[in-house]
Structure 1
Amino acid sequence: MAEALAIAVGKYTYVHEVGKGPPEAIDAHHIVVRRSREKGFNLCLFTLLLFAYPTFLLFRQGKLDTLHIWSLFIMTLLMRLFLKKPVKKESILILPAFGVQLETQYGRYLLLLCRVRQFVPISRILKPVLTECVTPITCYWSLSLIIRGEEELMLVFKELRPPVKMLAPIWKALCAAIECGECTETIT
C-alpha cells in the first residue's frame, strides 16, 4: 500500500490505505482497537488472584463445601469472560472491479490470532447505508450493505461500533466503488 491516513477517536484508530496504480486499485479501510498492554496484564493478574484464593482455601481445608464450589464456579466464569477472544481490528477491502472483503481479526492474550474473512461480489451489493441504531441504553451508528436476494442488512463492522466520523469516508468509498447515484448526500 502506498499512502496511509490515520485518525484516532476514543478507543478506535481509523487507518485508510490507498494502493498505487489505476483507479481499480485496492482501497483498504481498517478500524483498530487501541488497548494498552498494562490493562491486559492487570486483567490477567486480577483473574489469577481471584482464582487462586478459593483454590488455596479448598486445598488447605481438605473439604469441599458450598462456598468453595460457588467461588470456583464464579472464578471459572470470570476467567472465561476475561480471556475471551477480543477484537483487535476490523477491515474492509474495496476492490471496485470485483467486490468487497470484510475481515475481523481476533487476538488472545496468549498471542494467538484468528481472522474471519467474508467476500461479497460487487454485483450482489445494491447500496451501502449508514444507519443510526437506537437501543434503550445507547445510540450508535453502523455501516451496512443492502445485498441482492437477502432479507437482512449485512453489517460491515460486526463487532466494533466506530463513530460516524470514521464510518462516513468508508461509506463514500463504497458508494464510489459501486457507482450508486443516490449516495451523493453529504454527512455532517
Structure 2
Amino acid sequence: MGENSFAHRKYMYFHDQKYPHEAIDIHHIEVQSNGAKRVFLSLLTAIVVGNALYLVLTKEKSVTLLFSSFLLWAFLRKLLLGKPVKKESVVIMPTLGIQLETLYISGRITRQFVPVSKILKPVLQECVTPVTCYWSLSLVLREEEELTPVFKELRPPLKMLIPVWKALCAATGEGSSHSRTEDSGDAEEGVRSETNP
C-alpha cells in the first residue's frame, strides 16, 4: 500500500489520482472482505444438506422444519454479511461540486450531487449513541436544516475521514481550518478543536 491508500480494521481508504489534482479529486472507502461470505455459504450448505438428510431419514415432509431453516438462514445472512455496501466514494470537482456515491454489493449505485455554491462548510463531528461512539463527516448546506452526511452507510475511523475533510475544506474555500490542522502537528487534536467549540 502506498501513501494514497491504507487500511484500518474492516475499511480500506484509496485516494484516486488518475485525473490531474486540480480537476477531480476522488476518495474511496471500501469495506474489506473478511471471509464472511465463505462462512455464510458454508453455513447455508450445512443447513440445506442437514435438512435434506433429515427429510430423507424421517420420510416426513415437515413445513415447520423448512420454514425454521429459512428463518435461520436469513438471520445468519444478516449477522454475517452486515450492511450490503461495498464502497462509498466522494468525487470532488472544485469548480462544480461534490458527488457522493454508494456502491452496494448487488451492483446498484446511488449518487447525490451537491453544487459547491450550496456548501457552507464540511464538518467532522463525534457522534455518541447509547451503544457506540463514532466520527462522522457531514456537509453544512445553504437553506438546509439538517446536515448532509458524506458517508451515509459506512462509519470509517477518523484516520480515514481527515484526508477527505481536508480535501473538502480546500475545495470549498475553508483553507484556514485546513492549515490550522496541519500546523498543529496532531491532526486529531486539530479536528477536535475545530468540531468542539
Supply the RMSD in Å over aligned alpha carbons: 2.6
Regions of 4+ moved over 6 Å: none
Offset of residue 93 of structure 1: 0.4
1:18 aligns to 2:14 (yes or no): no
Report the TM-score when normalising by structure 1. 0.81
Partner residue of 1:176 out of 170, 189, 193: 170
Structure richer in helix, relative to its length: 2
Offset of residue 84 of structure 1: 7.3
Q: Give the count of matched residue pairs.
A: 179
Cα distance change on mapping 1:11 and 1:72 into 2, 3 Å: closer
| Aligned twin of 2:145 | 151
Supply the distance in 2 between the matched residues of 1:178 and 1:34 (Cα, whole angstroms): 30
| Aligned twin of 1:164 | 158
Offset of residue 75 of structure 1: 2.7
Preserved contact between residue 16 and residue 30 of structure 1 (Cα < 8 Å):
yes
Offset of residue 161 of structure 1: 1.0
Structure richer in strand, relative to its length: 1
Q: Which runs of 5 or more structure 1 residues have no equivalent in the other structure?
A: none
Offset of residue 136 of structure 1: 1.6
Supply the distance in 1 between the matched residues of 2:50 and 2:13 (Cα, whole angstroms): 41
Deviations 1:56-106 (A, max 9, x none): 43464324375x265235234236525676221110000000000111111
| Aligned twin of 1:78 | 75
Superposition pairs for residues 38-53 of structure 1, below 5 Å?
38-53=35-50
1:115 aligns to 2:109 (yes or no): yes
Percentage of identical aligned residues? 47
Preserved contact between residue 7 and residue 15 of structure 1 (Cα < 8 Å):
yes
Supply the distance in 2 between the matched residues of 1:51 and 1:72 (Cα, whole angstroms): 8
Preserved contact between residue 5 and residue 17 of structure 1 (Cα < 8 Å):
yes
Q: Which runs of 5 or more structure 2 residues have no equivalent in the other structure?
A: 182-186, 189-197
Supply the distance in 2 between the matched residues of 1:17 and 1:76 (Cα, whole angstroms): 38
Letter in 2 for 1:95: M
